[in-house]
Structure 1
Amino acid sequence: MVFTGIVEEMGTVLSVERKANLEMWDGSKSEGFVLRIKCKVALEGAYIGCSIAVNGTCLTVTTFDAEAFEVNCAPETLRRTDLGDLGKGDPVNLERSMAASDRNSGHFVQGHVDEAGKILKFTPEGDSLWVRISLSDDLLPFVIPKGYIAVDGTSLTVCEVNRKEKWFNLMLIAHTQKCIVIPKKKVGDRVNLEGDCMGKYAAAAVGNVRQELSEVKQQLRFSQAAALLSLLVATCLALLRRR
């Protein structure tokens, strides 16, 4: 499942419920977190089990009607994202999953949020808007100037990274400001962050190569030590025979 980071519409949260009677696979009942979201575009072609990104979080539609759809949020989702902060009436970014025939005008967004950062600062410049957002040490290596990042599901370009103070800047043009939820938030509010998946895969591959090289070096050291030991033993035996 993949998204583009081009928000299709802003939906509105109709209800946020912690339900205690949700049925589990074995028929037992348990508590869960359910969002009901009003929208139009995201309902086009919707079906039970389809994926919709809500503020950049890939969620499964569990039920829908002509006005809205519902999704369940797992505990891990609530720990990782800003969805637990939502209340009735709040706007949310929505995007349906990308079809194979679609153009990708953003970047490959998985909808697997890494963490929720905090908005530190808004600074207007002309008709554009600078936004400064905090991030953790875990995500910092995957955020680079002029690289991609998904913020509340919006594909955006990183303009500046301060690795010492752990924040990055991005700039929103006037059109984008009108189409997404970020400008509607305030300083201190949380936003969902997803680093570029291509960068994460590349880093993982490089890490594997480094690990393999380290293992090869260890094997070489062992082989060299074994060869040296064999040479010493052979030399000692030769000296003993001469006696």
Structure 2
Amino acid sequence: MHLASRYAALIPVAALCLGLAACSDKTTDTAKQINREIETTKTISDPVSALAKLDPLQGSGRDALTGCEVVCGDIVQAMANLDDARTARIKQAMDRLTPAKLAEYFEGDSMLPLRDDMAPRILAAAQASTGTAVNSRLLRVAGQIVRDGKYVIRSSDKAAELFARAWLAGDPTAAANNAQLYDSLHDLNNAYLWALRCRAECHPDDGYRPVNAESLRSRLSTAAIRQAEQAALDPTVLSLAGR
């Protein structure tokens, strides 16, 4: 669902609750500030410069929403306005955005209407990238795109390769993505290999079930466990033979 629509859908709920609790003055002020900034950016012709002003407003808006005891109509509407303004500017700036910025925007819920256009750009940029740290998020997001197959042709092999490259580039959740991918393919050897490489628990919030290294271990032979544990220490080993 478009995030603006999601916020807008909450406004009637807020109206019903006005007799019980209103937005705090601080929350109302935040909503007014967001709307003022949106109006100000309308005079900026360069969409990239406009986004530099609009993007930071998301943080204050989310904080205000979190701080509301009851859903507050003013801040909900302001956030919907912000999402609409950012979406329009990103669409204008699409050809000028860096690959890293495209990946960042792609992950935002409010950018759903633009993902069809973003996805092939992100994938092309990831395939051409050098795999440096600045591209780690780009590689991971590209892996998620080809894994899910919603915007481009699905390819588990390509997804695994991109997640591995993202991990090598330093992305903190790419190992978990690869563990989940291999687990979904019933490739326990590689699922365990990548679960061992997770920096924390292997369950990034991307709709795939969590992967538990101990559970995987219990289904592997002693030889397979030893092979995966040794390989996990060698960053040049990105996959194991056999399932």
Give the structure with the larger strand fraction.
1
Fold conserved between structures, TM > 0.5 = no
Relative CO higher for 1 or 2, CA cutoff 8 Å, sep ≥ 6?
1
Give the structure with the larger helix fraction.
2
- Normalised by the shorter chain, which TM-score bucket? under 0.3
State which structure, 1 or 2, has the greater radius of gyration over its C-alpha atoms. Answer: 1
TM-score by length of 2: 0.24
